[in-house]
Structure 1
């Protein structure tokens, strides 16, 4: 029964993480800590171990969903690789901070920030992506209506945000998509489906960097990882399949609701 529960946790984390581009750590970390006092196999799981194990799981969620999104031609590989130049160094910084920092206040304020971002999505149609003229790195694609859609980002701003995303991933094991996906949609004008797919592409590589560091620190429970990985892998593929059948406005609505949930959880954890 315990192994079945872990399989279900991995499946839910992989599916939700892949659909929203959040990675799934937001499900795995609280679930491991929540059941650490009631399930024998989870006894002794510390926040550090929960984060380290979650990041290892996200490698498989990220890989399976990225492969599915690449088949759908929704991953902006060039932009994703550029963002990784900021997120991977940030991931190492986050792991280092994770070792002993008291993060209650940070959790509180970050949770409030995430809730704020979710409400910003309410007025998304009235907002225009940032424009930096010749400093922008422009991208374009042809949508299903054969229309040319353009979006872009300022390199310095993009690297700064991705560094913060990587740091949050290494620190909390949440994947960083809760910040990166809104940034790509609201600031850079990414189509929602492209933002989610590119976020999962980034999460795959940043999770590798973060989990390697946590492995060296002894923060990975390999037995739990083996139980969670099959569900996470299947969930990553399933989430990409579901995402392909959701309209952009519906995806943004679901993302907004889930960000509120994330924000409330972080605020409660920080209080």
Structure 2
């Protein structure tokens, strides 16, 4: 198998990786998923034809998390300026997501590539079903310890809430998935925020990117420590990720909540089926 550090880059390849980072991160910031749902499948499925090399699962996940650091950084800063990020809630999730992302990163290499892709795809389809059925599912009617209020541009007021223990449990699961799959954990965190804690979709998107930033930092650090990382893959993707994180956050505020969920579901379903059937 050709290793990434043996690759001799040329201008078309660099431009292709820049475009991949830009597209993945723009989409990821729009819906709060981080872009790993595009980067990981692209590296695994298109590596031989796109880059002339085979990239193993652990390397794809490590590179994806490294790129997510750049995506989530610019999008988080942009969302914070717009006062859409619930930093207190993000902190609660991150207390457990950070260490668990390191645990997930240490387990990635144990998965067979084909089993990994299919498990990844099935999990994504499950999240799509949850999001599509969210209006038919009975929302949690209990009272959370911390109650927050958000007023959207139309003047409508939305209340949502959370408690420390559920936030820590979900944060831990998000971190584990982030480090294991390299997707940031937004595919689990956003449905949990919307369905369980009743977050407005735009607040869920912004807060998710803050949690992804912390998880990606710790998860990519573990992959770097384990040697499942290559700067020749990360660096060409990073500029597009920085720009995409900013653009995605800007585009997100122009999209209605219902349209945001539809885009998210359509994209997740497409990549899920691609991972399962390929």
**Given the two structures, how large is their TM-score scaled by the length of structure 1?**
0.90
Change (3 A) 1:165 1:5: same
Gaps of 5+ in 2: 1-11
Gaps of 5+ in 1: none
Contact 2:44/2:54, CA 8 A, preserved across alignment: no
Aligned length: 267
Instruction: State the Cα deviation string for residues 5-45 of structure 1 (Å, max 9, x = none).
Output: 111101011101101111111111121223322345x5253
Matched residue, 2:107? 97
Partners of 1:215 and 1:107 lie apart in 2 by 22
Partners of 2:168 and 2:274 lie apart in 1 by 27
SS of alignment partner, residue 47 of structure 2: coil
Matched residue, 2:203? 194
Partners of 1:116 and 1:39 lie apart in 2 by 29
Instruction: State the Cα deviation string for residues 53-90 of structure 1 (Å, max 9, x = none).
Output: 11111000000111111111111111011111121121
Indicate yes or no: 2:89 matched with 1:79: yes
Matched residue, 1:53? 63
Shift of residue 220, structure 1, vs aligned partner: 1.1
Indicate yes or no: 2:219 matched with 1:219: no
SS of alignment partner, residue 70 of structure 1: helix
Shift of residue 117, structure 1, vs aligned partner: 3.1
Contact 2:120/2:181, CA 8 A, preserved across alignment: no
Instruction: Give me the CA root mean square deviation.
Output: 2.0
Greater alpha carbon shift after TM alignment, 29-38 vs 230-239: 29-38
Contact 1:48/1:98, CA 8 A, preserved across alignment: yes
**Given the two structures, how large is their TM-score scaled by the length of structure 2?**
0.88
Greater alpha carbon shift after TM alignment, 64-73 vs 95-104: 95-104
Indicate yes or no: 2:74 matched with 1:67: no
Matched residue, 1:10? 21
Matched residue, 2:267? 258
Shift of residue 127, structure 1, vs aligned partner: 3.5
Matched residue, 2:37? 26
Q: Select which of 197, 219, 230 maps to 1:210.
A: 219
Contact 1:108/1:267, CA 8 A, preserved across alignment: yes
Change (3 A) 1:148 1:55: same
